[in-house]
Structure 1
Amino acid sequence: MYRTKLSYVEHIESIVNKQRAFFKTHQTKSVTARITYLKALKSKIKDSEVLIFNALNKDFKKHKFETYLSEVGLVLSQLDLVIKKLKYWTKNQYVWPSLLSFPSKDYMYKEPYGSILVIAPWNYPFLLAFEPLIMAIAAGNTVVLKPSELTKNTSKLISQIIQKVFPEDWVIAVEGDAEVASQLLAQKWDFIFFTGSTKVGKIVAKAAAKYLTPVVLELGGKSPCIIDDTIDLKLVARRLVWGKLLNGGQTCIAPDYVIVKAEIKEALVTNLIQEITKRYGTDAKLSEDFPRIINDVHTKRLANLMQNQHIVFGGAIHLNSCFVAPTLIDNPKLDSPIMKEEIFGPILPILSFQTEKDIEHILWNLDKPLACYIFSKNKTFIKSILKTFSFGGGVINDTLIHFGNPKLPFGGVGASGLGHYHGKYGFDTFTHHKSIVKRGTWADPSFRYAPYNGKLKVLKKLFRWLG
């Protein structure tokens, strides 16, 4: 692409400088222009549906139904929402004025941050590139998108779509490897949005700290699935297998491991095996519905995680085709690698509990996860789990579906992330809410002015009244 490292660095600097200059023209602040370009993006995505299906199939061997469900459909629904609501979202938000500023009108003026860097991951390369990009544009920013180099076909298509819809000074995709990402992070941005691993998230946060750049970090972690003995295990198995094996288990909010009531553990395993076989056949390698692991490096990583484990179902690996079979692992040790790192594959460790103290012993030895799933009809048990443990978000009696509601904020806590987005929460993330007080001139009470003698008691009463 560029023959020398220096020329490529200069190219990135040129992109950033051009976008900064373009932002200063105020063209991105036109709500009409934003909506026009977002409508054009929607039209281009719809026209490119077959190309998107093909790209995701080449990268993951992903079925078009799953591609539409977890990528295209969600992007189009976000575009529909933004196009419909943007004029309302961008209006000044008036708030009740304080007596201390009487007479006044108080409101929040909504303005874009400026130059935005979005670094997208490989696991849902289309969705997790376009959703933050859409919201950043909706808020009136310029955007540089770095799609993942691991999904070459999808990343190339994303770049082509963006190039055909937006002027480069407003939105551009920059393809490349980790070195390119490092060069992008070395620039001064007004906001950075990153989706990926906790390890790389720390690198992004460190780079942003140099310029005190605000960030959103959408990370991951080991999301537990807690199952008690009050729930129908056939229903549990159906919903758990779907959530775990969607995208071949390469989902940041996939159930990472199960903690099940000891008395029903064997029955759960039986139901899980039946459900996996029902959905993907006796050999998932032959199923058109079961995706592949992204590359051989991650396939080898998953193979290493399964070493020295008690595999009760599955375990087959074909490195050349990046296939890892749906696998159930019984009672791994808490200090084993498979319980120390996020699995990000179709492998499900199954642990058991007798009391809630057993659950605490497991969860409190791990970082705060991005998600938590509870299968139970016991309201007291559910309430206890929700109150006791911290996690980004979750679902009771299902998996993953909280991601699909744009009225809910999505994000992590602690090691699983910083900040949130989705729907209007995404628009607000990329928007600076500037607090404005418009003071009236028709009255000017003298109470705040010197001399202060004799006013302190009245001031204290005033603050108590305001509280």
Structure 2
Amino acid sequence: MTCFISSSNPYAALVDCLRATWLTGKTRPIEYRRKQLEALGCFLEENRCEILQAVNADMRRCAFEGEMADISLVMNEVNNALNCLHGWMMDECVSKNLATKFRSAIIRKDPYGVVLIISPFNSPFNLTLVPLVGAIAAGNCVIVKPSELSRCSEKLMAEVLPTYLDPETFAVVTGGHEPTARLLENKFDYILYSGNRRVGKVVMSAAAKHLTPLTLELGGKNPCYVDSCCNFQNAANRIVWGKFFNAGQNCTAPDYVICTTDTQDRLIPCLRHAIRCFYGCNPQESPDFARMINDEHFQRVRALIDNGRVAIGGETDECDRYIAPTVLADVKEWEPVMQQEIFGPVLPIFTVAGLEEAIQYINSRDRPLFVYAFSCNHQTVHRVLDCTSSGGFSGNDTLMHMTLVSLPFGGIGCSGFGKYHGRFSFDTFTHQRGSLISTMGFEALNNIRYPPYTESKLQMLKFGTDVRRWNPCTML
């Protein structure tokens, strides 16, 4: 294989080599894709202990959370892709009009080419490998760029993962902002970035220079509406689990609770009870409660505790990067805790007069990645679903939507665009190529579209190509 170095960029040779491999067609056969997916599954199975140790070293993430988020959910994606790959790859036949009756109209599923996946620190293996499953299944060559903040996880992926996957079609790039910026100078055929909004704009700007399509997963402030008609303890259990999973460093975590003052007063004791049941009287001693990823994030989140009134928690330990599971009551709209994504173990409660004001407040802000709603009234949950806009929605639970490979995952507006997981990952990294294939015969049928044009030819062509309504109705 010949690689052409196109510039002095340190990653140009790598990108060119992967592109040269892709042009040979090596990644297109289903057998090759299956082999790479099976190798990825072997990486997960054979390095289970090392993966759990890495995420624990990075964030003190317990084995339970590491197993669920960074191994089990990724393995589900691998198995689902292996189960469904043949069907996903098949040409899709579409309906035809009378004029194309004797032709073949299909959607061909083509890989984009060389794609780039940039992932964040908070769930390093999940957010790197789940999109990788889709990129491999779609037949692409892939470069992954894990976050440098989760150093142990990055090191494991850089050193071990390439020993399982084909080095001619896959590579890992490591480092911080400078390597990422230089990597983005190269032309890719598709980019998927997960992370914060500020870096998302940088990635989008870099992609624009090459007119590269991309998916952005940017998170946001996910509201959690709690209705006055509610099983408060059940709601509290599910909110506490979803919020403090990985110490709140999770883009799908409930960012804030929105409810009435009376509901706040009834909910807080239930939240306190759930926190104590989950993490004990001193969560710092709990083996199940994670730590902030680094000092910078610790300082940022600790500063948010000064907002509102500390109703639960509030304790911190800088040396341990520990912030207790914290609930803030009576926060104000203008306070910093309500102006930025928290991404830490702090749960503010914002009070409103009722459901309609809650919906109005949610809709007045940037559209979030997720909206959560808790109520014993089925109609209330559906009203929140019907009257708000977000990347996804969950009624009376948190995080469990992430276990379904059948649901798309992705943002809308400022929380990102594009989607992946399951079939949606395959589609994201696939160019759906509309194709019409005709025979060389039946030329007499084509005469109606050739000059010289006549009114009768036009009417016949329109008859053969017009789309008609199935059930026309007359407005009275």
- TM-score, normalising length from structure 2? 0.93
User: What per-residue deviation string (whole Å, max 9, x for no partner) do you get for residues 236-269 of structure 1?
Assistant: 0111111001111000010000012333221100
What is residue 430 of structure 1 aligned with on the other side?
Answer: 429
Moved more, 309-318 or 100-109: 100-109
- How much does 1:388 deviate? 1.6
Cα distance in 2, alignment partners of residues 62 and 220 from structure 1:
21
**1:104 is matched by which residue type in structure 2?**
R
Compared CA separation, residues 13 and 75, structure 1 to 2 (3 A): same
- How much does 1:161 deviate? 2.6
Aligned residues: 460
Contact 2:10 2:182 in 1 (8 A): no
Cα distance in 1, alignment partners of residues 281 and 321 from structure 2:
18
What is residue 240 of structure 1 aligned with on the other side?
Answer: 239
What is residue 472 of structure 2 aligned with on the other side?
Answer: none
What is residue 448 of structure 1 aligned with on the other side?
Answer: 449
Compared CA separation, residues 466 and 105, structure 1 to 2 (3 A): farther
User: What per-residue deviation string (whole Å, max 9, x for no partner) do you get for residues 398-439 of structure 1?
Assistant: 011112211111100000011000101100110111111112
What is residue 3 of structure 1 aligned with on the other side?
Answer: none
What is residue 196 of structure 1 aligned with on the other side?
Answer: 195
- How much does 1:168 deviate? 2.4
Compared CA separation, residues 349 and 105, structure 1 to 2 (3 A): same
SS in 1 for 2:292: coil
5+ residue gaps, structure 1: 1-7
List aligned pairs for 1:165-204, cutoff 5 A.
165-204=164-203
Cα distance in 2, alignment partners of residues 391 and 49 from structure 1:
34
User: What per-residue deviation string (whole Å, max 9, x for no partner) do you get for residues 107-137 of structure 1?
Assistant: 0111110011110100000110111112101
Contact 2:327 2:347 in 1 (8 A): yes
Contact 1:162 1:171 in 2 (8 A): no
Cα distance in 2, alignment partners of residues 449 and 327 from structure 1:
74
Cα distance in 2, alignment partners of residues 422 and 89 from structure 1:
13
Compared CA separation, residues 354 and 10, structure 1 to 2 (3 A): closer
Cα distance in 1, alignment partners of residues 467 and 18 from structure 2:
49
5+ residue gaps, structure 2: 1-6, 470-476
What is residue 363 of structure 1 aligned with on the other side?
Answer: 362
SS in 2 for 1:447: helix
Compared CA separation, residues 122 and 400, structure 1 to 2 (3 A): same
**1:440 is matched by which residue type in structure 2?**
T
Percentage of identical aligned residues: 36
Contact 2:43 2:161 in 1 (8 A): no
**2:364 is matched by which residue type in structure 1?**
N
List aligned pairs for 1:23-422, cutoff 5 A.
23-422=22-421
Cα distance in 1, alignment partners of residues 431 and 61 from structure 2:
38
Compared CA separation, residues 399 and 22, structure 1 to 2 (3 A): same
What is residue 5 of structure 1 aligned with on the other side?
Answer: none
SS in 2 for 1:242: helix
- How much does 1:447 deviate? 2.2
SS in 1 for 2:124: coil
CA RMSD, Structure 1 to Structure 2 (Å): 1.6
What is residue 468 of structure 2 aligned with on the other side?
Answer: 466
Cα distance in 2, alignment partners of residues 411 and 66 from structure 1:
22
Compared CA separation, residues 279 and 100, structure 1 to 2 (3 A): same
Contact 2:307 2:337 in 1 (8 A): no
Cα distance in 2, alignment partners of residues 465 and 186 from structure 1:
45
Contact 1:393 1:411 in 2 (8 A): yes
**2:333 is matched by which residue type in structure 1?**
L
Contact 1:194 1:218 in 2 (8 A): yes
Cα distance in 1, alignment partners of residues 467 and 28 from structure 2:
41
- How much does 1:199 deviate? 1.3
- How much does 1:462 deviate? 5.6
SS in 2 for 1:374: strand
Cα distance in 2, alignment partners of residues 365 and 296 from structure 1:
33
Contact 1:102 1:439 in 2 (8 A): no
- How much does 1:366 deviate? 1.7
What is residue 4 of structure 1 aligned with on the other side?
Answer: none
User: What per-residue deviation string (whole Å, max 9, x for no partner) do you get for residues 251-288 of structure 1?
Assistant: 00100000123332211001000110111011110000
Cα distance in 2, alignment partners of residues 129 and 63 from structure 1:
19
Contact 2:448 2:460 in 1 (8 A): no
- TM-score, normalising length from structure 1? 0.95
